[in-house]
Structure 1
Amino acid sequence: MDAMFLGETGSWGIWVFQDVLLYFPEQPSSSRLYVPMPTGIPHESIFIRTKDGVLLNLILLRFTGDNSTFSPTVIYFHGNAGNIGHRLPNALLMLVNLKINLLLVDYRGYGKSEGDANEEGIYLDSEAVLDYIMTRSDLDKTKIFLFGRSLGGAVAIHLASQNPHRISAIMVENTFLSIPHMASTLFSFFPMRYLPLWCYKNKFLSYRKISQCRMPSLFISGLSDQLIPPVMMKQLYELSPARTKRLAIFPDGTHNDTWQCQGYFTALEQFIKEVMKSHSPEEMAKMPSNVTII
Protein backbone atom coordinates (compact mmCIF):
# COMPACT_ATOMS: atom_id res chain seq x y z
CA MET A 1 0.00 0.00 0.00
CA ASP A 2 3.00 2.32 0.10
CA ALA A 3 3.34 4.83 -2.73
CA MET A 4 6.52 6.05 -4.39
CA PHE A 5 8.58 8.54 -2.42
CA LEU A 6 9.55 11.68 -4.30
CA GLY A 7 12.42 13.99 -3.52
CA GLU A 8 12.56 17.73 -3.06
CA THR A 9 14.49 20.37 -5.00
CA GLY A 10 14.75 23.04 -2.35
CA SER A 11 12.77 25.70 -4.17
CA TRP A 12 10.01 27.49 -2.29
CA GLY A 13 7.31 26.01 -4.48
CA ILE A 14 8.52 22.48 -3.86
CA TRP A 15 8.91 23.26 -0.15
CA VAL A 16 5.22 24.07 0.06
CA PHE A 17 4.37 21.02 -2.03
CA GLN A 18 6.57 18.48 -0.21
CA ASP A 19 3.80 16.97 1.91
CA VAL A 20 1.89 16.13 -1.27
CA LEU A 21 4.98 14.39 -2.64
CA LEU A 22 5.37 12.15 0.42
CA TYR A 23 1.91 11.39 1.79
CA PHE A 24 -0.71 9.52 -0.26
CA PRO A 25 -3.83 9.20 1.95
CA GLU A 26 -6.12 9.08 -1.10
CA GLN A 27 -4.50 6.10 -2.82
CA PRO A 28 -6.58 4.20 -3.64
CA SER A 29 -9.17 6.89 -4.34
CA SER A 30 -11.70 5.72 -1.74
CA SER A 31 -9.21 5.66 1.14
CA ARG A 32 -10.56 8.79 2.82
CA LEU A 33 -14.16 7.69 2.43
CA TYR A 34 -14.15 4.04 3.37
CA VAL A 35 -12.10 2.19 6.00
CA PRO A 36 -12.71 -1.59 5.95
CA MET A 37 -13.47 -3.05 9.37
CA PRO A 38 -12.82 -6.58 10.63
CA THR A 39 -15.71 -9.01 10.92
CA GLY A 40 -16.12 -11.92 13.27
CA ILE A 41 -13.37 -10.95 15.74
CA PRO A 42 -13.38 -8.72 18.83
CA HIS A 43 -12.39 -5.20 17.88
CA GLU A 44 -13.01 -1.55 18.69
CA SER A 45 -13.07 1.50 16.45
CA ILE A 46 -11.64 4.25 18.64
CA PHE A 47 -11.28 8.00 18.31
CA ILE A 48 -8.74 9.95 20.37
CA ARG A 49 -7.44 13.52 20.32
CA THR A 50 -3.84 14.59 20.05
CA LYS A 51 -2.28 17.37 22.11
CA ASP A 52 -2.94 19.80 19.26
CA GLY A 53 -6.60 18.79 19.04
CA VAL A 54 -6.63 16.50 16.00
CA LEU A 55 -9.09 13.60 16.09
CA LEU A 56 -7.50 10.25 15.19
CA ASN A 57 -9.09 6.92 14.32
CA LEU A 58 -7.67 3.66 15.68
CA ILE A 59 -8.71 0.03 15.38
CA LEU A 60 -7.97 -2.23 18.34
CA LEU A 61 -7.92 -5.96 17.65
CA ARG A 62 -8.08 -8.09 20.78
CA PHE A 63 -6.54 -11.52 21.24
CA THR A 64 -8.99 -13.64 23.25
CA GLY A 65 -7.26 -17.02 23.35
CA ASP A 66 -5.55 -18.73 26.29
CA ASN A 67 -3.50 -16.45 28.56
CA SER A 68 -4.84 -13.40 26.70
CA THR A 69 -4.44 -11.37 29.90
CA PHE A 70 -0.68 -11.58 29.45
CA SER A 71 -0.65 -10.71 25.74
CA PRO A 72 1.55 -7.82 24.65
CA THR A 73 0.06 -4.93 22.72
CA VAL A 74 1.60 -3.98 19.38
CA ILE A 75 1.08 -0.48 17.96
CA TYR A 76 0.99 -0.78 14.17
CA PHE A 77 2.25 2.19 12.13
CA HIS A 78 1.52 1.82 8.42
CA GLY A 79 3.17 3.22 5.30
CA ASN A 80 2.48 6.40 3.36
CA ALA A 81 -0.62 5.35 1.37
CA GLY A 82 -4.08 3.94 2.10
CA ASN A 83 -5.59 3.47 5.55
CA ILE A 84 -5.61 1.03 8.46
CA GLY A 85 -8.43 -1.01 6.92
CA HIS A 86 -6.16 -1.95 4.03
CA ARG A 87 -3.76 -3.56 6.52
CA LEU A 88 -6.36 -5.89 8.04
CA PRO A 89 -5.29 -9.06 6.13
CA ASN A 90 -1.78 -8.59 7.49
CA ALA A 91 -3.01 -7.52 10.93
CA LEU A 92 -5.36 -10.47 11.37
CA LEU A 93 -2.55 -12.90 10.61
CA MET A 94 -0.39 -11.11 13.17
CA LEU A 95 -3.19 -11.44 15.71
CA VAL A 96 -3.58 -15.18 15.15
CA ASN A 97 0.08 -16.12 14.78
CA LEU A 98 1.58 -13.87 17.42
CA LYS A 99 -1.25 -13.95 20.00
CA ILE A 100 -1.09 -10.22 20.57
CA ASN A 101 -3.39 -7.26 20.88
CA LEU A 102 -2.96 -5.00 17.89
CA LEU A 103 -3.68 -1.27 17.75
CA LEU A 104 -3.70 0.10 14.19
CA VAL A 105 -3.25 3.85 13.75
CA ASP A 106 -4.39 6.15 10.96
CA TYR A 107 -2.20 9.25 11.00
CA ARG A 108 -3.77 12.68 10.69
CA GLY A 109 -5.08 13.09 7.16
CA TYR A 110 -5.52 9.34 6.66
CA GLY A 111 -8.71 7.28 6.73
CA LYS A 112 -11.19 8.72 9.22
CA SER A 113 -8.59 10.80 11.05
CA GLU A 114 -8.82 14.58 10.83
CA GLY A 115 -6.21 17.03 9.63
CA ASP A 116 -3.36 16.86 7.15
CA ALA A 117 -0.24 14.75 7.38
CA ASN A 118 3.12 16.29 8.24
CA GLU A 119 6.15 15.02 10.13
CA GLU A 120 5.69 16.86 13.41
CA GLY A 121 1.98 16.13 13.40
CA ILE A 122 2.53 12.42 12.88
CA TYR A 123 4.93 12.41 15.82
CA LEU A 124 2.17 13.97 17.93
CA ASP A 125 -0.17 11.25 16.67
CA SER A 126 2.18 8.51 17.81
CA GLU A 127 2.54 10.07 21.26
CA ALA A 128 -1.23 10.33 21.59
CA VAL A 129 -1.64 6.62 20.80
CA LEU A 130 0.95 5.64 23.40
CA ASP A 131 -0.70 7.90 25.97
CA TYR A 132 -4.04 6.31 25.13
CA ILE A 133 -2.74 2.82 25.87
CA MET A 134 -1.67 4.06 29.27
CA THR A 135 -5.31 4.84 30.07
CA ARG A 136 -6.50 1.28 29.36
CA SER A 137 -6.70 -0.92 32.43
CA ASP A 138 -7.26 -3.98 30.22
CA LEU A 139 -3.95 -3.64 28.35
CA ASP A 140 -0.61 -4.51 29.95
CA LYS A 141 1.34 -1.25 30.01
CA THR A 142 4.62 -3.11 30.59
CA LYS A 143 4.36 -5.04 27.31
CA ILE A 144 4.14 -2.46 24.54
CA PHE A 145 5.76 -3.26 21.20
CA LEU A 146 6.00 -0.96 18.19
CA PHE A 147 5.70 -2.21 14.62
CA GLY A 148 6.29 0.02 11.62
CA ARG A 149 6.50 -0.66 7.91
CA SER A 150 8.13 1.81 5.49
CA LEU A 151 7.16 5.32 6.70
CA GLY A 152 5.72 3.63 9.78
CA GLY A 153 9.17 2.35 10.66
CA ALA A 154 10.39 5.93 10.97
CA VAL A 155 7.40 6.74 13.19
CA ALA A 156 8.12 3.72 15.41
CA ILE A 157 11.80 4.62 15.74
CA HIS A 158 10.94 8.21 16.67
CA LEU A 159 8.39 7.16 19.30
CA ALA A 160 10.76 4.60 20.81
CA SER A 161 13.60 7.14 20.91
CA GLN A 162 11.41 9.52 22.91
CA ASN A 163 9.92 6.88 25.23
CA PRO A 164 12.65 4.32 25.96
CA HIS A 165 11.19 3.32 29.32
CA ARG A 166 7.65 2.77 28.03
CA ILE A 167 8.47 0.64 24.99
CA SER A 168 9.40 -3.04 25.42
CA ALA A 169 10.66 -3.59 21.86
CA ILE A 170 10.48 -2.31 18.28
CA MET A 171 9.95 -4.17 15.01
CA VAL A 172 10.57 -2.23 11.80
CA GLU A 173 10.20 -3.47 8.25
CA ASN A 174 11.47 -2.17 4.90
CA THR A 175 12.07 1.31 6.24
CA PHE A 176 14.63 3.98 5.38
CA LEU A 177 17.52 5.87 6.93
CA SER A 178 15.86 9.25 6.30
CA ILE A 179 13.91 11.15 3.65
CA PRO A 180 17.07 12.94 2.43
CA HIS A 181 18.68 9.51 1.96
CA MET A 182 15.64 8.41 -0.04
CA ALA A 183 15.70 11.56 -2.17
CA SER A 184 19.36 11.08 -3.07
CA THR A 185 18.65 7.44 -3.93
CA LEU A 186 15.65 8.14 -6.15
CA PHE A 187 17.16 11.24 -7.72
CA SER A 188 20.86 10.52 -8.07
CA PHE A 189 21.72 13.56 -10.20
CA PHE A 190 24.28 15.94 -8.72
CA PRO A 191 22.19 18.60 -6.92
CA MET A 192 20.11 16.12 -4.93
CA ARG A 193 23.17 14.60 -3.29
CA TYR A 194 24.33 17.93 -1.88
CA LEU A 195 21.13 19.61 -0.75
CA PRO A 196 21.49 20.82 2.85
CA LEU A 197 19.20 19.26 5.42
CA TRP A 198 17.21 22.46 5.89
CA CYS A 199 15.85 22.09 2.35
CA TYR A 200 13.74 19.16 3.50
CA LYS A 201 10.40 19.86 5.12
CA ASN A 202 10.01 16.20 6.07
CA LYS A 203 13.21 14.57 7.32
CA PHE A 204 12.35 11.47 9.43
CA LEU A 205 15.98 11.07 10.54
CA SER A 206 15.82 7.44 11.64
CA TYR A 207 19.56 6.91 11.19
CA ARG A 208 20.11 9.41 14.02
CA LYS A 209 17.20 8.46 16.26
CA ILE A 210 17.98 4.73 16.22
CA SER A 211 20.98 5.54 18.44
CA GLN A 212 18.51 6.29 21.25
CA CYS A 213 16.68 2.96 20.88
CA ARG A 214 18.35 0.49 23.21
CA MET A 215 15.31 -1.71 23.67
CA PRO A 216 15.20 -5.10 21.84
CA SER A 217 14.89 -4.44 18.13
CA LEU A 218 13.88 -6.55 15.14
CA PHE A 219 14.78 -5.36 11.65
CA ILE A 220 12.79 -7.09 8.89
CA SER A 221 14.21 -6.77 5.39
CA GLY A 222 12.76 -7.90 2.07
CA LEU A 223 15.68 -8.11 -0.34
CA SER A 224 13.36 -7.73 -3.35
CA ASP A 225 12.18 -4.31 -2.16
CA GLN A 226 12.22 -2.10 -5.28
CA LEU A 227 11.31 1.11 -3.43
CA ILE A 228 13.58 1.37 -0.40
CA PRO A 229 17.08 -0.08 -0.87
CA PRO A 230 17.41 -3.11 1.46
CA VAL A 231 20.89 -1.93 2.41
CA MET A 232 19.19 0.79 4.48
CA MET A 233 17.66 -1.88 6.73
CA LYS A 234 21.06 -3.46 7.24
CA GLN A 235 22.55 -0.07 8.04
CA LEU A 236 19.83 0.66 10.61
CA TYR A 237 20.52 -2.73 12.17
CA GLU A 238 24.22 -1.93 12.35
CA LEU A 239 23.55 1.53 13.82
CA SER A 240 21.26 0.12 16.51
CA PRO A 241 22.85 0.14 19.98
CA ALA A 242 20.43 -2.51 21.29
CA ARG A 243 22.11 -5.42 23.04
CA THR A 244 19.33 -7.61 21.73
CA LYS A 245 18.78 -7.05 18.03
CA ARG A 246 17.84 -9.31 15.16
CA LEU A 247 17.95 -8.93 11.38
CA ALA A 248 15.40 -11.11 9.61
CA ILE A 249 16.12 -11.32 5.89
CA PHE A 250 13.65 -12.53 3.25
CA PRO A 251 15.20 -12.82 -0.23
CA ASP A 252 11.81 -12.76 -2.01
CA GLY A 253 10.26 -10.06 0.13
CA THR A 254 8.99 -7.01 -1.74
CA HIS A 255 8.30 -3.59 -0.21
CA ASN A 256 4.65 -4.23 0.66
CA ASP A 257 4.44 -8.02 0.71
CA THR A 258 7.36 -9.30 2.79
CA TRP A 259 4.77 -10.45 5.33
CA GLN A 260 3.62 -13.05 2.82
CA CYS A 261 7.02 -14.77 2.74
CA GLN A 262 7.50 -18.18 4.30
CA GLY A 263 8.89 -17.91 7.80
CA TYR A 264 7.82 -14.32 8.33
CA PHE A 265 5.51 -14.87 11.28
CA THR A 266 7.90 -17.42 12.77
CA ALA A 267 10.60 -14.75 12.89
CA LEU A 268 8.28 -12.28 14.62
CA GLU A 269 6.96 -14.93 17.01
CA GLN A 270 10.46 -16.00 18.03
CA PHE A 271 11.48 -12.40 18.65
CA ILE A 272 8.40 -11.61 20.75
CA LYS A 273 8.79 -14.81 22.78
CA GLU A 274 12.43 -14.01 23.42
CA VAL A 275 11.58 -10.54 24.63
CA MET A 276 8.73 -11.79 26.82
CA LYS A 277 10.84 -14.61 28.27
CA SER A 278 13.51 -12.19 29.40
CA HIS A 279 11.27 -9.25 30.14
CA SER A 280 13.11 -7.88 33.15
CA PRO A 281 15.83 -5.27 32.52
CA GLU A 282 18.36 -7.51 34.28
CA GLU A 283 17.66 -10.47 32.01
CA MET A 284 17.51 -8.33 28.88
CA ALA A 285 21.00 -7.00 29.55
CA LYS A 286 22.39 -10.55 29.45
CA MET A 287 21.01 -11.39 26.02
CA PRO A 288 23.51 -11.39 23.13
CA SER A 289 23.13 -9.68 19.77
CA ASN A 290 23.04 -11.77 16.61
CA VAL A 291 21.77 -11.86 13.06
CA THR A 292 18.88 -14.11 12.10
CA ILE A 293 18.75 -14.90 8.39
CA ILE A 294 15.45 -16.39 7.25
Structure 2
Amino acid sequence: MVVRVSVVVRVALVVLLVLALLVALAWLLQRRLIYFPDRSAPPPAAQVLAGGQDVSLRTGDGLDLGAWLVRPPPGTTDRRVGVLVAPGNAGNRLARVPLAAALAGRGLTVLLVDYRGYGGNPGSPTEEGLAHDVDAARAYLVDRAGIPAERLYYFGESLGAAVVTALAARQPPAGLILRSPFIDLPAAGQEHYPFLPVRLLARDRFPVRDHIGGITAPTLVVYGTADSVVPPAQSRAVADNAAGPVRVVVVEGADHNDASLLDGQQLIDAVTELTTPLSPP
Protein backbone atom coordinates (compact mmCIF):
# COMPACT_ATOMS: atom_id res chain seq x y z
CA MET A 1 0.00 0.00 0.00
CA VAL A 2 2.84 2.35 0.92
CA VAL A 3 4.62 1.50 -2.33
CA ARG A 4 1.47 2.08 -4.38
CA VAL A 5 0.92 5.50 -2.76
CA SER A 6 4.56 6.40 -3.41
CA VAL A 7 4.18 5.55 -7.11
CA VAL A 8 1.01 7.64 -7.35
CA VAL A 9 2.76 10.58 -5.69
CA ARG A 10 5.69 10.31 -8.05
CA VAL A 11 3.43 10.20 -11.09
CA ALA A 12 1.49 13.21 -9.80
CA LEU A 13 4.74 15.13 -9.28
CA VAL A 14 5.90 14.33 -12.81
CA VAL A 15 2.57 15.49 -14.24
CA LEU A 16 2.74 18.71 -12.22
CA LEU A 17 6.31 19.29 -13.36
CA VAL A 18 5.37 18.82 -17.01
CA LEU A 19 2.41 21.19 -16.62
CA ALA A 20 4.63 23.75 -14.92
CA LEU A 21 7.13 23.54 -17.77
CA LEU A 22 4.36 23.96 -20.34
CA VAL A 23 3.05 27.03 -18.52
CA ALA A 24 6.56 28.48 -18.25
CA LEU A 25 7.19 27.94 -21.96
CA ALA A 26 3.84 29.46 -22.83
CA TRP A 27 4.70 32.53 -20.76
CA LEU A 28 8.15 32.93 -22.30
CA LEU A 29 7.27 32.09 -25.91
CA GLN A 30 3.67 33.30 -26.12
CA ARG A 31 4.40 36.10 -28.59
CA ARG A 32 5.72 33.50 -31.02
CA LEU A 33 2.26 31.94 -30.82
CA ILE A 34 0.58 35.29 -31.52
CA TYR A 35 2.66 37.08 -34.15
CA PHE A 36 3.74 35.38 -37.39
CA PRO A 37 5.56 38.09 -39.33
CA ASP A 38 6.97 37.75 -42.80
CA ARG A 39 10.12 39.74 -42.10
CA SER A 40 11.24 39.98 -45.72
CA ALA A 41 11.18 43.44 -47.31
CA PRO A 42 8.50 43.78 -50.00
CA PRO A 43 9.40 45.21 -53.43
CA PRO A 44 8.93 48.93 -54.15
CA ALA A 45 5.25 49.88 -54.04
CA ALA A 46 5.19 51.16 -57.61
CA GLN A 47 6.10 47.67 -58.87
CA VAL A 48 2.95 46.09 -57.50
CA LEU A 49 0.43 48.92 -57.09
CA ALA A 50 -0.65 51.61 -59.54
CA GLY A 51 -0.32 54.89 -57.69
CA GLY A 52 1.65 53.28 -54.86
CA GLN A 53 4.59 54.91 -53.14
CA ASP A 54 7.00 53.87 -50.42
CA VAL A 55 6.75 55.94 -47.26
CA SER A 56 8.40 55.90 -43.86
CA LEU A 57 6.62 56.19 -40.52
CA ARG A 58 8.48 57.47 -37.47
CA THR A 59 7.14 55.97 -34.26
CA GLY A 60 7.03 57.66 -30.88
CA ASP A 61 9.61 55.20 -29.53
CA GLY A 62 12.11 55.91 -32.30
CA LEU A 63 11.57 53.31 -35.05
CA ASP A 64 11.36 54.00 -38.78
CA LEU A 65 8.80 51.71 -40.40
CA GLY A 66 8.23 51.08 -44.08
CA ALA A 67 4.67 51.39 -45.40
CA TRP A 68 2.85 51.96 -48.71
CA LEU A 69 0.65 54.91 -49.57
CA VAL A 70 -1.77 54.20 -52.42
CA ARG A 71 -3.62 57.04 -54.14
CA PRO A 72 -6.65 56.54 -56.42
CA PRO A 73 -5.47 55.57 -59.92
CA PRO A 74 -5.78 57.90 -62.94
CA GLY A 75 -9.36 58.17 -64.13
CA THR A 76 -10.75 57.58 -60.63
CA THR A 77 -12.18 60.50 -58.66
CA ASP A 78 -10.04 61.21 -55.61
CA ARG A 79 -12.57 61.52 -52.80
CA ARG A 80 -9.96 62.91 -50.37
CA VAL A 81 -10.85 60.19 -47.88
CA GLY A 82 -8.13 58.16 -46.17
CA VAL A 83 -8.16 54.56 -44.97
CA LEU A 84 -5.52 53.35 -42.53
CA VAL A 85 -5.21 49.57 -42.98
CA ALA A 86 -3.87 47.62 -40.00
CA PRO A 87 -3.21 43.98 -40.99
CA GLY A 88 -3.64 40.74 -39.11
CA ASN A 89 -0.91 38.86 -37.31
CA ALA A 90 0.76 37.19 -40.31
CA GLY A 91 2.54 38.03 -43.55
CA ASN A 92 3.35 41.58 -44.60
CA ARG A 93 1.87 44.36 -46.72
CA LEU A 94 2.54 42.55 -50.00
CA ALA A 95 -0.38 40.23 -49.21
CA ARG A 96 -2.73 43.23 -48.91
CA VAL A 97 -2.15 44.49 -52.46
CA PRO A 98 -5.60 43.31 -53.66
CA LEU A 99 -7.30 45.14 -50.78
CA ALA A 100 -5.40 48.39 -51.39
CA ALA A 101 -6.08 48.24 -55.14
CA ALA A 102 -9.79 47.64 -54.59
CA LEU A 103 -10.15 50.52 -52.11
CA ALA A 104 -8.09 52.93 -54.21
CA GLY A 105 -10.29 52.00 -57.15
CA ARG A 106 -13.22 53.38 -55.15
CA GLY A 107 -11.49 56.76 -54.80
CA LEU A 108 -9.92 56.19 -51.38
CA THR A 109 -6.35 56.95 -50.32
CA VAL A 110 -4.97 53.88 -48.56
CA LEU A 111 -2.05 53.50 -46.17
CA LEU A 112 -0.90 49.87 -45.89
CA VAL A 113 0.88 49.56 -42.55
CA ASP A 114 3.47 46.97 -41.62
CA TYR A 115 4.06 46.65 -37.89
CA ARG A 116 7.48 46.53 -36.26
CA GLY A 117 9.14 43.22 -37.10
CA TYR A 118 7.08 42.82 -40.29
CA GLY A 119 7.99 43.55 -43.91
CA GLY A 120 11.63 44.41 -43.30
CA ASN A 121 10.85 46.70 -40.36
CA PRO A 122 12.99 46.77 -37.20
CA GLY A 123 11.77 45.76 -33.77
CA SER A 124 9.55 43.01 -32.39
CA PRO A 125 5.74 43.14 -32.15
CA THR A 126 3.95 43.71 -28.85
CA GLU A 127 0.61 45.29 -27.97
CA GLU A 128 2.31 48.50 -26.85
CA GLY A 129 4.56 48.54 -29.90
CA LEU A 130 1.70 48.12 -32.37
CA ALA A 131 -0.06 51.04 -30.72
CA HIS A 132 2.99 53.20 -31.45
CA ASP A 133 2.99 51.94 -35.04
CA VAL A 134 -0.60 52.92 -35.85
CA ASP A 135 -0.21 56.23 -34.03
CA ALA A 136 2.63 56.96 -36.44
CA ALA A 137 0.50 55.82 -39.40
CA ARG A 138 -2.35 58.13 -38.43
CA ALA A 139 0.05 61.05 -37.96
CA TYR A 140 1.49 60.43 -41.43
CA LEU A 141 -1.91 60.48 -43.12
CA VAL A 142 -2.99 63.67 -41.37
CA ASP A 143 0.27 65.62 -41.26
CA ARG A 144 2.00 64.54 -44.48
CA ALA A 145 -0.52 62.90 -46.81
CA GLY A 146 -3.02 65.74 -46.43
CA ILE A 147 -5.98 63.69 -45.22
CA PRO A 148 -8.10 65.73 -42.76
CA ALA A 149 -8.65 63.90 -39.48
CA GLU A 150 -12.42 64.11 -39.96
CA ARG A 151 -12.06 62.23 -43.28
CA LEU A 152 -9.96 59.36 -41.97
CA TYR A 153 -11.22 55.79 -41.50
CA TYR A 154 -9.50 52.94 -39.69
CA PHE A 155 -9.63 49.44 -41.19
CA GLY A 156 -8.37 46.47 -39.15
CA GLU A 157 -8.14 42.80 -40.06
CA SER A 158 -8.42 40.33 -37.16
CA LEU A 159 -5.55 41.37 -34.84
CA GLY A 160 -5.51 44.66 -36.74
CA ALA A 161 -9.15 45.17 -35.74
CA ALA A 162 -7.97 45.18 -32.14
CA VAL A 163 -5.15 47.59 -32.95
CA VAL A 164 -7.40 50.15 -34.68
CA THR A 165 -10.14 49.86 -32.07
CA ALA A 166 -7.61 50.91 -29.45
CA LEU A 167 -6.47 53.71 -31.78
CA ALA A 168 -10.09 54.85 -32.18
CA ALA A 169 -10.38 55.06 -28.40
CA ARG A 170 -7.40 57.45 -28.39
CA GLN A 171 -8.04 59.31 -31.66
CA PRO A 172 -11.64 59.06 -32.92
CA PRO A 173 -11.95 58.40 -36.68
CA ALA A 174 -14.68 59.25 -39.17
CA GLY A 175 -15.53 55.54 -39.10
CA LEU A 176 -14.22 52.15 -38.06
CA ILE A 177 -14.05 48.97 -40.16
CA LEU A 178 -13.44 45.75 -38.24
CA ARG A 179 -12.90 42.56 -40.21
CA SER A 180 -13.16 39.36 -38.13
CA PRO A 181 -12.67 41.05 -34.74
CA PHE A 182 -12.29 39.01 -31.55
CA ILE A 183 -13.58 39.92 -28.07
CA ASP A 184 -10.04 40.13 -26.71
CA LEU A 185 -6.84 38.25 -27.39
CA PRO A 186 -7.12 35.82 -24.44
CA ALA A 187 -10.63 34.85 -25.59
CA ALA A 188 -9.33 34.15 -29.09
CA GLY A 189 -6.29 32.31 -27.75
CA GLN A 190 -8.36 30.09 -25.46
CA GLU A 191 -10.11 28.72 -28.54
CA HIS A 192 -6.80 27.42 -29.89
CA TYR A 193 -5.02 26.50 -26.65
CA PRO A 194 -7.84 25.20 -24.41
CA PHE A 195 -5.38 23.26 -22.24
CA LEU A 196 -3.58 26.43 -21.09
CA PRO A 197 -4.72 29.17 -18.63
CA VAL A 198 -4.51 31.73 -21.44
CA ARG A 199 -6.27 34.56 -19.63
CA LEU A 200 -3.89 34.29 -16.69
CA LEU A 201 -0.78 34.09 -18.86
CA ALA A 202 -1.54 36.69 -21.55
CA ARG A 203 0.88 39.61 -21.71
CA ASP A 204 -0.83 41.22 -24.72
CA ARG A 205 -4.59 41.49 -24.23
CA PHE A 206 -6.14 43.75 -26.92
CA PRO A 207 -9.55 44.25 -25.22
CA VAL A 208 -11.66 44.98 -28.31
CA ARG A 209 -15.09 44.59 -26.74
CA ASP A 210 -14.18 46.89 -23.86
CA HIS A 211 -12.86 49.60 -26.20
CA ILE A 212 -15.74 49.44 -28.69
CA GLY A 213 -18.18 50.16 -25.87
CA GLY A 214 -16.80 53.69 -25.67
CA ILE A 215 -16.50 54.44 -29.40
CA THR A 216 -19.36 56.34 -31.03
CA ALA A 217 -17.99 56.51 -34.60
CA PRO A 218 -19.98 54.61 -37.25
CA THR A 219 -18.68 51.06 -37.27
CA LEU A 220 -18.73 48.29 -39.86
CA VAL A 221 -18.16 44.70 -38.69
CA VAL A 222 -17.49 42.05 -41.35
CA TYR A 223 -16.98 38.36 -40.65
CA GLY A 224 -17.32 34.94 -42.28
CA THR A 225 -19.67 32.25 -41.03
CA ALA A 226 -17.00 29.53 -41.45
CA ASP A 227 -14.20 31.40 -39.66
CA SER A 228 -11.96 28.79 -38.04
CA VAL A 229 -9.60 31.32 -36.41
CA VAL A 230 -11.95 33.85 -34.78
CA PRO A 231 -15.32 32.33 -33.86
CA PRO A 232 -18.17 34.26 -35.56
CA ALA A 233 -19.85 34.62 -32.16
CA GLN A 234 -16.93 36.76 -30.99
CA SER A 235 -17.27 39.12 -33.96
CA ARG A 236 -21.00 39.41 -33.31
CA ALA A 237 -20.32 40.17 -29.64
CA VAL A 238 -18.03 43.04 -30.67
CA ALA A 239 -20.75 44.46 -32.93
CA ASP A 240 -23.37 44.10 -30.21
CA ASN A 241 -21.23 46.14 -27.80
CA ALA A 242 -20.55 49.08 -30.15
CA ALA A 243 -21.62 52.41 -28.68
CA GLY A 244 -22.21 54.06 -32.05
CA PRO A 245 -24.19 53.09 -35.15
CA VAL A 246 -23.06 49.70 -36.39
CA ARG A 247 -23.61 47.67 -39.55
CA VAL A 248 -22.82 43.97 -39.69
CA VAL A 249 -21.95 42.23 -42.96
CA VAL A 250 -21.92 38.44 -42.84
CA VAL A 251 -20.06 36.61 -45.61
CA GLU A 252 -21.63 33.18 -45.87
CA GLY A 253 -19.23 30.25 -45.94
CA ALA A 254 -16.10 32.40 -45.66
CA ASP A 255 -13.14 31.25 -43.57
CA HIS A 256 -10.72 33.63 -41.90
CA ASN A 257 -8.19 33.91 -44.73
CA ASP A 258 -10.49 33.52 -47.72
CA ALA A 259 -10.21 36.04 -50.56
CA SER A 260 -13.81 37.12 -49.98
CA LEU A 261 -12.69 38.59 -46.65
CA LEU A 262 -9.63 40.25 -48.19
CA ASP A 263 -11.07 42.08 -51.17
CA GLY A 264 -14.43 40.45 -51.84
CA GLN A 265 -17.25 42.51 -53.31
CA GLN A 266 -19.39 42.41 -50.15
CA LEU A 267 -16.52 43.82 -48.13
CA ILE A 268 -15.47 46.50 -50.61
CA ASP A 269 -19.08 47.57 -51.26
CA ALA A 270 -19.69 47.88 -47.52
CA VAL A 271 -16.57 50.02 -47.03
CA THR A 272 -17.61 52.21 -49.96
CA GLU A 273 -21.07 52.67 -48.45
CA LEU A 274 -19.63 53.56 -45.04
CA THR A 275 -17.39 56.24 -46.56
CA THR A 276 -19.93 57.58 -49.09
CA PRO A 277 -21.40 60.30 -46.81
CA LEU A 278 -18.06 62.07 -47.19
CA SER A 279 -18.28 63.55 -50.68
CA PRO A 280 -15.16 65.16 -52.19
CA PRO A 281 -14.43 68.52 -50.50
TM-score, normalised via structure 1 length? 0.80
Distance 1:35 1:13, change over 3 A: farther
Give the Å deviation of 1:211: 1.3
- For 1:169 and 1:95, the matched residues in 2 are separated by 17
**Aligned counterpart, 1:89:** 98
**Aligned counterpart, 1:290:** none
The answer to whether the aligner puts 1:239 opposite 2:241 as a matched pair is yes
Larger Rg belongs to = 2
Q: Tell me the secondary structure at the aligned position of residue 143 of structure 2.
A: coil
The answer to whether the aligner puts 1:119 opposite 2:120 as a matched pair is no
Distance 1:168 1:48, change over 3 A: same
- For 2:265 and 2:69, the matched residues in 1 are separated by 26
- For 2:119 and 2:263, the matched residues in 1 are separated by 24
**Aligned counterpart, 1:144:** 152
The answer to whether the aligner puts 1:220 opposite 2:229 as a matched pair is no
Q: Which of 80, 90, 96 does residue 89 from structure 2 map onto?
A: 80
Distance 1:205 1:10, change over 3 A: farther
Give the conservation status (yes or no) of the 8 Å contact 1:63–1:71: no
Q: Which amino acid is the alignment partner of residue 197 of structure 2?
A: M
* Count of matched residue pairs: 256
Please give the per-residue CA displacement for 1:85-115, whole angstroms capped at 9, x wherever unaligned.
111022211211x210000000000002111
Q: Which amino acid is the alignment partner of residue 110 of structure 1?
A: Y
Q: Which runs of 5+ in 1 are unaligned?
A: 1-8, 280-294
RMSD of aligned alpha carbons: 2.2
Give the conservation status (yes or no) of the 8 Å contact 1:218–1:247: yes
**Aligned counterpart, 1:13:** 25
Give the Å deviation of 1:241: 0.6
**Aligned counterpart, 2:5:** none
**Aligned counterpart, 1:170:** 176
Q: Which of 189, 192, 197 does residue 197 from structure 2 map onto?
A: 192
Q: Which amino acid is the alignment partner of residue 58 of structure 1?
A: A
Q: Which of 110, 113, 120 does residue 102 from structure 1 map onto?
A: 110
Give the conservation status (yes or no) of the 8 Å contact 1:18–1:202: no
Q: Which amino acid is the alignment partner of residue 148 of structure 1?
A: G
**Aligned counterpart, 2:255:** 254
TM-score, normalised via structure 2 length? 0.84
Q: Which amino acid is the alignment partner of residue 230 of structure 2?
A: I
Give the conservation status (yes or no) of the 8 Å contact 2:224–2:232: yes
**Aligned counterpart, 1:201:** 203
Q: Which runs of 5+ in 2 are unaligned?
A: 1-20
Please give the per-residue CA displacement for 1:26-60, whole angstroms capped at 9, x wherever unaligned.
3xxxx424446343622210112211111111100
Q: Tell me the secondary structure at the aligned position of residue 201 of structure 1.
A: coil
- For 1:37 and 1:137, the matched residues in 2 are separated by 16
Give the conservation status (yes or no) of the 8 Å contact 1:10–1:200: no
**Aligned counterpart, 1:270:** 273
Give the conservation status (yes or no) of the 8 Å contact 1:253–1:261: no
The answer to whether the aligner puts 1:56 opposite 2:65 as a matched pair is yes
